Amino acid sequence: MGASEENGALFPIFVLTIMALPLVPYTLVKILSAFSKKAMTIHCRCSVCSRSGKYRKSIFKRISNFSTCSNLTLMLLWIVMGVLIYYIKQTSHEVKVFEPFSILGLEPGASDSDIKKAYRRLSIQYHPDKNPDPEAHDYFVEYISKAYQALTDPVSRENFEKYGHPDGRQGLQMGIALPSFLLNIDGVSGGILLLGIVGVCILLPLVLAVIYLSRSAKYTGNYVMHQTLSAYYYFMKPSLAPSKVLDVFIKAAEFMEIPVRRSDGEPLQKLFVLVRSELNLDLKNIRQEQTKFWKQHPAFVKAELLIQAQLTRESEALTPALLRDFRRMLELSPRLLEELMKMALIPRTAQGHGWLRPAIGVVELSQNIIQAVPLSARKVAGGSSEGVAPFLQLPHFSEAMVKKIARKAAFQKVRMLQDLCDMTLENRVELLTQVAGLSHTESNDVEIVLEMMPSLTVDITCETEGEEGIQEGDIVIMRVWITLERGSGLVAALPHAPYYPFHKEENFWLLLADSVSNDVWVSQKVSFMDEAVAITAASKAIQELKEGSGASLKETNAAVREAVERVKSGSRLVMGKFQAPAEGIYNLTAFCLCDSWIGCDKKTNLKIKILKRSRAGTRTGPLSEEGAVTEDGIEEEEQEEEDEYDDYESEYSEDEEDGKDSKRNGVVPGAGAAAVGSDDE
């Protein structure tokens, strides 16, 4: 029984050890990752963003950010560990080795007379007849008497001097660190042990498996419902106008799950009046149009009105219940737009191309939602192909102010956002203060935002590996260097988005497309937030490219070092592959588009000459086996995998009408054909 009690006392130590093994390193990783996120906190510091409270470090916001499920679980486990440590400290006792000579206060090897003298001396001090203290009685019986007996009995003394124990050689004792009641297999304890084994080994894994399978059957890896993807795939059309993308976007199943309450009726009616001009209703038949609008599914009506509340900045008119639904929709919007983009870029044609026009609409909608700018602000007006939308993302700007600046600017014509950026600081300040009527503080806010806006440079080349010229059926390697610059000198930054209540990272999308045929040949997502990942990806891509071309080790290392330096200076490498089409000249456009800023996109014209197949031994291979190469992995993707097609965004809605001479079939004279890219603002 004593051994069982000793084993039971070790059970808390065993549990503490099992908990500490994974918990301590996981906690250290969490702490280090929290300190390493300082680059992610670079955000706009204008007064409008400050008043929005999105980046305010209040005590309540700190608690809210900390109170995640993983953090609370981590804290609970540490509390349990603390309780175990306290319990072990309180219940543990020092194991005392039985030393008869030490108990009697003698040196080892003392004579019998010395032992008797010591025993009599201690008896006077601890004997129950001399000392009524109960502790003295226990000490006399348990230690002094046993020590005297062990040293006066010849056999016991010989065993002690020889084996260190009065009873002679001791065998090895082993036990199990479990509570004593579980070691008694009889009766109720045996049932408890059996239930514990069944629960931990069978029921718990089964429950976790059921939860995982039920969730995976409902959601994709990006936490978007499969029902949403089906709806997006069904409603996506090649001729879908950018103004109609919102009608497809609100068909998400996540929005259908947001409850439509009876109390929402009157507030939604008031909101309808505020945003009616943005709903594309026929004013000639306004009554019929309104009736038709309200006959839609209530969830679709609510979703569209709440999105329009964001675009028109009318969220202040929402009730608390609608405001919660409004924030939920905005929180879901980025990943829903990403999946909507995938549905636009998924291979639809026989050549494995996606559709450009709906992709343009998706990115325009994303930009407008993040910046809270109406879609109608993109209409061409006043000689500007961008409309007034790029100006409305600046703090303190309104549509009337933009028209006033365009009409009364004495320095130079300011019809586009780039015109404002190209002005000297003195002229811009004078324009904003004297013509636009802004204060010096408000003018400074505009300067802060202009310094945060990205400026892109795209350098694109297309070539075949180890061959001169591009012939039909060749696998063409696309290599793109995208360089980002800001007036603030930053590379990684969060966009100015005071009306979007959540943190939003900038994402850029590269589209190599034919505007005339509405085909997207290659599409990739680019991020400037994580420099370490970009360095790894660029190094691997350049190394594989050089090794494939037969370059020496010295040349390969030099190229890798150059690529690393370019990444550190604010560039990102994007690699892609596509199969050369039929013989002809193709005027393509490389779009580099931002999902957060309006008017900061870049497009570069690219002319590719495809020669007739003349080389022996073609390297054709199906295009589906030569998917694009992502910067985050630099791996070849299979085209048939729908989830590998990234999103791409563009506000160049009119590009479908450009370049009618994009393709001229016929034999191209000359041997080699290099792809030439030229920037087009």
List, edge to edge, every strand of the sheet that includes 455-464.
455-464, 475-485, 571-579
With both helix axes pointing from N to C terminus, report the angle between 298-311 and 320-345 in degrees, rounded to the nearest 10: 90
Angle (CA) 247-248-253 rounded to 5° is 115
Phi, psi torsion values for 459, nearest 5 degrees? -120, 110
pLDDT of residue 319: 93
Q: Which amino acid is at 520?
A: V
d(CA 272, CA 446): 32
Cβ atoms < 10 Å from Cβ of 304? 21
Helix (H, G, I), strand (E, B) or coil at 598: coil
Cβ atoms < 10 Å from Cβ of 196? 11
Phi, psi torsion values for 155, nearest 5 degrees? -70, -45
Q: Which mean pLDDT values do the consecutive 10-residue runs of the chain (681 residues) have?
A: 53 81 88 61 82 66 62 88 85 66 79 83 83 82 80 75 68 58 56 70 82 76 88 92 89 93 92 89 83 91 95 92 94 94 90 91 94 89 72 92 78 79 89 90 94 93 86 92 91 91 91 93 92 92 87 91 94 93 93 93 92 66 35 36 38 42 36 44 48
Contact 189, 181 (CB under 8 A): yes
Tokens of 609: 């000459």
Q: How many CA atoms lie within 13 A of 354 on its CB side?
A: 34
d(CA 369, CA 68): 27
Q: Alpha helices, DSSP H only, in 250-347?
A: 253-256, 265-275, 286-294, 298-311, 320-345
| H or E stretch at 458 | strand 455-464
- In order of 137, 157, 265, the CA distances from 31 in angstroms are 55, 59, 47
Helix (H, G, I), strand (E, B) or coil at 589: strand
Q: Which amino acid is at 159?
A: N
d(CA 49, CA 677): 38
> What is the signed CA dihedral for 391, 396, 401, 405, rounded to 10 degrees?
-70
d(CA 97, CA 99): 6
Q: What is the pTM of this model?
A: 0.71
d(CA 135, CA 144): 13
pLDDT of residue 179: 61
pLDDT of residue 664: 37
pLDDT of residue 661: 43
Indicate the burial class of 76 (C-beta count within 10 angstroms; 0-12, 13-18, 19 or more): exposed
